[in-house]
Structure 1
Amino acid sequence: MTDEKATSADHSTVKHMKWWGWGVEGVGFHHEDKPDFAPFVLKAVDVDLWTATKAQPLPFDKLDVPDSNVSPEFFAALTAAVGDDNVTSDAMDRVVHTFGKSLRDLVRVRSGKIERTPDVVVYPADEAQVQSVVDAAVAAGAVIIPFGGGSNIAGSLEPIVGETRTVVSLDLGRLNRVIEVDADSGLARIQAGALGPDLEAQLTERGWTLGHFPDSFTHSTLGGWVATRSSGMQSDKYGDIADIARGLRVVRPGGTLVIRAIPSASTGPSVREMIVGSEGRLGVITEVTVQVHRIPEKRDIYAYFFPNWATGLKAMQEISESDAAPSITRVSDARETGFSLATSKASKGMSKFLSGTVLPTLMKRKGWNLDDICLSFIGYEGGEAHAKRQKAIVDAIVKKHNGMGVGKGPGVLYDQKKFDTPYLRDFLLDMGAAGDVSETAAPWSKLAAVHDGAYAAAQGAFDKLGKVGWIMSHLSHSYHSGACLYFTFAFKFGEGDPIAEYDVVKSAIQQAFIDNGGTISHHHGVGLEHSPWLEQDISAGGVDLVKSLFASADPDGTFNPGKIVGGRLVGGRVATLIDTDAIETEEVQA
């Protein structure tokens, strides 16, 4: 057992994002101090920010929230497990725990299209209470959906439409402590409900860092990172969460699955790997033993420019093959570079580098077309001598590929604003436009084709809808054999169904990934959003194996049913969510 002690605080201490959007109330994206942004958006997606009528989410009291169907007997069993103050069927709590923060999620919740919510939200304080909740839910024939920070954008949180059983949202927010650090081994035991900033603060007090910083860092949890196979901005140095998570504790019916933090082992198929990326379908992750590192002596992020996307890709590939070991290798294509310049404040950020005459003149002398330039950020961490050596290697590679460095200033600003991007999704929705992301990974030999294929597919979808649309991309998370490509796309909604329009674009991009040699997701997970492409990605045999694993480990479909693969038997039919308005059903032998 763990040595954790239940906290005396009730669930009022658990932090949640606002029910209708990203982040906390009172924080959002503003364009008034960014003079180039409004013209950019007008050109990119045909939205005039100065004249657009700002849409507002429905007031909460206008939402038609489905009634809870939790029975008094089951509610009493849950309160016996975690205490009266830590079980609620309050409408606001249930709505907060219904969706993640994808565009599909936000369109539905902001417009009041909520077909199914959890029936009850439970806040355990420790692993023993989680076990009691799981056992009570199994006895009652209920469904359990683990909940961390609620930042997921792959449809991994919502109850399946048509689910008739009682649905429990099991919020791990009270399990938020760094339990201990094994300094000799560089391992830390951390409760799964710890949010990124909280666990880093606790580690920093001890002189350590996890080094895992996804875009969602501020509002996501360690358990959520493991459950969705997350990757962070500094994964080039610290690894993805699958590399970082060494030991696990997972509550299952009747007992706890324990994976010890062994450096490496030959013990058959990796159960640890089965849990990583399982999206709550194999049990409730309560604790993770992770690799941690001493806080580096030096940490710098430098900015570079390349003349075009092709040279930027080649430089990133050569860096990955070199003796250099940077913490960040990122390059934006020309469109994303233009976006970055447009979102800079007047006389600040990257805009000041191109607002004068020296740098543009130098670029033109080198034969560059300013419409093709690509912005790159590369990070160096470690001791003074180590960081200096890494930068020298990279600088030589950049020079070889006709790039140029512009110092640390832009990198400092990037580092300060790196967690603010998700607020743009809310802002564009307010202005009647869609803004969302899709990410993939592919071998170096196929990255250019994946990039161009996604662009062509998105443009075809925009044309089909009769829209002016925008897509942009950056490379990040470099590996020996390839890298991640992260795409952002946007367009203005019409008068019809916004989710149907979104599906046309999102589906085209996802299919382009598969068609050109990429995967359906590098780090966002599968959930419901990406499951239609899973068989094309891992083969029919792979899907059958995953289905068999879930069916064997959870034959009653207690844990987050329907996510990643398939659905569950409902009246002799398999129900699988395809979109917000339709369920595709297939007759099966009950």
Structure 2
Amino acid sequence: MAPNDRISMSNSTNHGNSKARSENGEVEEHKCESVGNDGKEPLFGTRTAKFRGMHVTSAVPKDRQDVLKWNGWGYKDSKFVVKNNIIEFTGKRYPIGQLSLPYFTQWVIDVFDVDISKSNIPQPPPKEEDYPVPKIDKAFLAAVENLRIAYSIKGIDRLIRAHGQTLHDIFVLRTGFFSRIPDMVVWPENHESVVKLVQLANQHNVVVIPFGGGTSVSGAVSCPANEPRPIISLDTSQMNHILWIDRKNLVACCEAGIIGQDLERELQRFGYTTGHEPDSYEFSSLGGWVATRASGMKKNVYGNIEDLLVHVKMVTPTGVLEKACKAPRMSCGPDFNHVILGSEGTLGVVTEAIIKIRPLPQCKKYGSIVFPNFESGVNCLREVARQRCQPASIRLMDNEQFKFGQALRPTPGYFGLLLDGLKKIYITKIKGFDVNQMCAATLLFEGEKKDVELQERKIYNIASQYGGVPAGETNGERGYMLTFVIAYIRDLGLEHDVVGESFETSVPWDRTLSLCSNVKQRVVKECKALGIKKYLISCRVTQTYDVGSCVYFYFGFKCTGLPDPLGTYEKLEERARDEILSSGGSLSHHHGVGKLRAKWFPNQVSQLGVQLYRATKEQLDPNNIFATGNLHSSHL
């Protein structure tokens, strides 16, 4: 391979010329590729990479609490707040930032009957003396210091890495304390450091829980309460190099701690993209994507993480698991990449991955379609999947989410929304759509301009056969971007006696509609039995496949007066999950199992499957150093 075909790098935010190491170790200058709109082979531009050994300047610093909330979702400067009895969204990071939201305010009042003038004040961060005294193995600590690996036993560092983003996690942070948190946080800076750390942990019987972006919604990074051994949180955030880009083979080698937005930003400086964009893309890490078998919103074009992964290293107590060959496909027995994919920190630590990349698309275009009802929309998505003409993203909201999306706007007509003025008249009067039945799909097309145009025509033609009406690019773009804002709503709810969460599944096409209906009906029935009068249960189809779909549910209720709001929610979600499984759905499409869904795991994979997993665990981690408790891993 010529030196120009592979760029060894660790990315810089500088825009001037700098240098990179070629494969033979020589220092050479390389310029970043920029993609033009003529469809020709892109030429090198002016931006460059730097030596390996320098980190990407991440959007999330080592001291996460400087930028991110310690007890909620996302950035500290971005949140829903109430000012003069009107809800606003702060900050400038998102399209609705610094805008007053009167319609959303009314939606919240109508759906949940809350008094937004009153709010619950979460507890302040604990003082250092309030944290449990860490259990420290002195010999292990001395060895870590000897290796010059950064570590901390500060309470706030330990607390931030003691949880993910489940409702349980955030509720506890606001009202109480975890029964167990890590005793120490370590920040290795490369694969070799992780190998040494894991060997030390195995030698000293210290538990290791890998920590990536902290976005888990399965309880995966929480510490088992009954674990008597010292626990370290192995934070991979400082392992965030892009080690090299191979533009001839269209792959990149990256360290596992790099987060999605950093990876995309730096790849795009060189004219490339992974195309992997999960809802948590701003904060989740590459290693986390691999460990949870993640899916992204644009998987139709770029694939899920298992499709993007070419090669991966995982450090275990008995060695490094990786393939010797980096070919695109091998017929050499079972694919051990799939032992690592979905292992959820129970077998080892993912340290490096080679993933596919693609040149930036020449054309990117949004779209949207309104359907008279959810059934029509699902049937349309199924036909689009059958004809295999899915755009990069196609997602269908049910009526409840449709109305929610319409409410989340500042002023009439500002975004050209569907229920404003002439558009409402056309949809409801001329087309005869019922506002309380209609739903909408958002679309994102990426690719060559001529291919996008052809795909648009084909999809809109299919939609028309199911009563669908094109609703414009603005609605599509807005609906797509609001995905990143929705997660912030839960924190607002907690301040006003509303608890809520999302959960997902995958299901065959012939059971998609019945599953959605069954789960909603089950939740409504259970809420009524508990005397809960104000609640919301809604769903959307977020991914489509040849044989089925991914369905995402949102559920929340007013908890004023309930003695145990968190326990009540968890009981209701558990019953919803039972209904999902009995309706033909999977345990998870992309959130993973963790501890939250571990009790259902054996029935999903069979008892023989559990035995096979445990045999793998025994081979790779015989002392159960990776005792996360996920996937029943602690029950050897």
TM-score when normalising by structure 2: 0.85
Superposition deviation, residue 351 in structure 1 = 7.0
* CA distance in 1: counterparts of 2:425 and 2:130, whole angstroms: 55
Superposition deviation, residue 548 in structure 1 = 2.8
For residue 591 of structure 2, the aligned residue among 513, 519, 524 is: 524
Superposition deviation, residue 566 in structure 1 = 4.9
**SS of the residue aligned with 1:413?**
helix
Structure 1 residues 380 and 349: alpha-carbon distance in aligned structure 2, compared to 1, 3 A threshold: farther
Which aligned pairs between 1:73-84 and structure 2 lie closer than 5 A? Answer: 73-83=139-149
For residue 379 of structure 1, the aligned residue among 427, 435, 444 is: 444
**SS of the residue aligned with 1:476?**
strand
**SS of the residue aligned with 1:353?**
coil
For residue 501 of structure 1, the aligned residue among 568, 571, 577 is: 568
Residue of structure 2 equivalent to 1:424: 489
Contact 1:246 1:263 in 2 (8 A): yes
* CA distance in 2: counterparts of 1:53 and 1:122, whole angstroms: 37
For residue 515 of structure 1, the aligned residue among 559, 562, 582 is: 582
* CA distance in 2: counterparts of 1:20 and 1:462, whole angstroms: 27
CA shift digits 1:315-339 (9 cap, x unpaired)? 0000011152410111101111111
For residue 167 of structure 2, the aligned residue among 103, 111, 122 is: 103
Deviates more, 1:216-225 or 1:554-563: 554-563
Residue of structure 1 equivalent to 2:226: 162
Superposition deviation, residue 552 in structure 1 = 3.0
Residue of structure 2 equivalent to 1:54: 120
For residue 280 of structure 1, the aligned residue among 345, 357, 376 is: 345
Which aligned pairs between 1:175-324 and structure 2 lie closer than 5 A? Answer: 175-253=239-317, 255-259=319-323, 260-324=325-389
CA shift digits 1:427-462 (9 cap, x unpaired)? 111212111001000010010111011101211221
Superposition deviation, residue 498 in structure 1 = 2.2
Contact 1:37 1:342 in 2 (8 A): yes
Superposition deviation, residue 35 in structure 1 = 1.5
Q: Which amino acid aligns with 1:426?
A: D
* CA distance in 1: counterparts of 2:413 and 2:619, whole angstroms: 57
2:43 paired with 1:43: no
Q: Which amino acid aligns with 1:257?
A: L
Give me the identity figure in percent: 30
Structure 1 residues 372 and 143: alpha-carbon distance in aligned structure 2, compared to 1, 3 A threshold: same
Contact 1:454 1:509 in 2 (8 A): yes
For residue 536 of structure 2, the aligned residue among 470, 482, 485 is: 470
**SS of the residue aligned with 1:419?**
helix
Residue of structure 2 equivalent to 1:438: 503
Superposition deviation, residue 73 in structure 1 = 2.2
Structure 1 residues 464 and 227: alpha-carbon distance in aligned structure 2, compared to 1, 3 A threshold: same
CA shift digits 1:508-545 (9 cap, x unpaired)? 11111101000011100000111122233223332333
Q: Which amino acid aligns with 1:389?
A: L
* CA distance in 2: counterparts of 1:15 and 1:307, whole angstroms: 49
Structure 1 residues 566 and 257: alpha-carbon distance in aligned structure 2, compared to 1, 3 A threshold: closer
**SS of the residue aligned with 1:471?**
strand
* CA distance in 2: counterparts of 1:321 and 1:457, whole angstroms: 30
Residue of structure 2 equivalent to 1:582: none
CA shift digits 1:212-237 (9 cap, x unpaired)? 11111111100001111111111111
For residue 62 of structure 2, the aligned residue among 11, 14, 39 is: 14
Contact 1:177 1:199 in 2 (8 A): no
**Structure 2 residue ranges without an equivalent (≥5):** 1-22, 26-50, 82-86, 89-99
**SS of the residue aligned with 1:218?**
coil
**Structure 1 residue ranges without an equivalent (≥5):** 570-590
Superposition deviation, residue 366 in structure 1 = 2.1
CA shift digits 1:8-55 (9 cap, x unpaired)? 899994262322111122221242422122332233233232x33233
TM-score when normalising by structure 1: 0.92
Contact 2:207 2:230 in 1 (8 A): yes
Deviating above 4 A after TM superposition, structure 1's stretches of 4 or more consecutive aligned residues are: 2-13, 348-351
Structure 1 residues 360 and 541: alpha-carbon distance in aligned structure 2, compared to 1, 3 A threshold: farther
2:332 paired with 1:332: no
Deviates more, 1:116-125 or 1:265-274: 265-274
Residue of structure 1 equivalent to 2:549: 483
Q: Which amino acid aligns with 2:313?
A: R
Q: Which amino acid aligns with 2:592?
A: G
Contact 2:318 2:621 in 1 (8 A): no
* CA distance in 1: counterparts of 2:530 and 2:233, whole angstroms: 37
